[in-house]
Structures are given as structure tokens and as C-alpha cells.
Amino acid sequence: AQLGTAEKDFSQLRLELGESTSSAALVLHDKGRVEEEASELKRQLSEELSQ
């Protein structure tokens, strides 16, 4: 569900930025995905530590 929201936000971002800066938007999107994965890993780790 969270990923779908991110995809929609990204689509909106690309529309706002326009195709001339879409490569910059892709970089931002990749950065956002990395941050999402990092926060997911942190969440899993904290769950394991709390058990």
C-alpha cells in the first residue's frame, strides 16, 4: 500500500517537474526508495531486538 502511494506521488512529481527534469526526478525517486528500504530494515531489526 505504501509503495502504491509513493508511485502516485512520483507520477505527480514528474508531471509537475516536466519531462526535461525527469532524470532528476528519477534520482530523487531512487533516493526515496533507498530510504524506504533502510527504514524497513530498521523496523525489522528493532522488532527482532524487542523479542
Residue-level pLDDT, tens digit, the chain, 51 residues = 567 788 888 888 777 767 656 677 788 888 889 899 999 999 999 999 998
What is the C-alpha separation between 49 and 51, in angstroms, rounded? 6
Q: Which domain holds residue 40?
A: 2-50
**Structural domains of the chain, count:** 1
Query: What pLDDT shows up at residue 20?
Result: 59
In a 13 Å sphere around the CA of 47, the CA atoms on its Cβ side amount to: 6
Three-class SS of the chain: CHHHHHHHHHHHHHHHHCHHHHHHHHHHHHHHHHHHHHHHHHHHHHHHHHC
Query: What pLDDT shows up at residue 1?
Result: 57
> What are the helix and strand counts (H, E) for the chain?
2, 0
